[in-house]
Amino acid sequence: MKQINSFYWINNQEEVNELISELDKRFGLVSPTYKDKPTKFPVLLTWSFTNDVNGSRILFKHITIEEVENLITNLSPST
């Protein structure tokens, strides 16, 4: 796992578990649930924290490397 500003480069499920462990330490007594965990790797991932009447949650947002490559290719002015 490599952190780049507020994004994480995640290579496998073990690194997701490592990030979850780090986040658990950050929130102390609050035990958030984790939503939208990635299933395909590698991914570029970020997260957000929400706390409302439904409880505390960490929402993962992620995109696979193939999706990033397709996005860049489609945005290229040469195509």
User: Tell me: the pLDDT tens digits for 21-64?
Assistant: 999 999 888 789 999 999 999 999 999 999 889 889 999 999 99
Cα 40 to chain center, whole Å? 12
**25: Cβ contacts below 8 Å, ≥ 6 apart:** none
- Separation between Cα atoms, residue 79 and residue 76, nearest integer Å: 6
- Separation between Cα atoms, residue 45 and residue 60, nearest integer Å: 7
- List the domain range (segments joined by +) for residue 55: 2-75
> How many domains are there within the chain?
1
pLDDT confidence of residue 29:
81
pLDDT confidence of residue 30:
76
pTM of the predicted protein model: 0.84
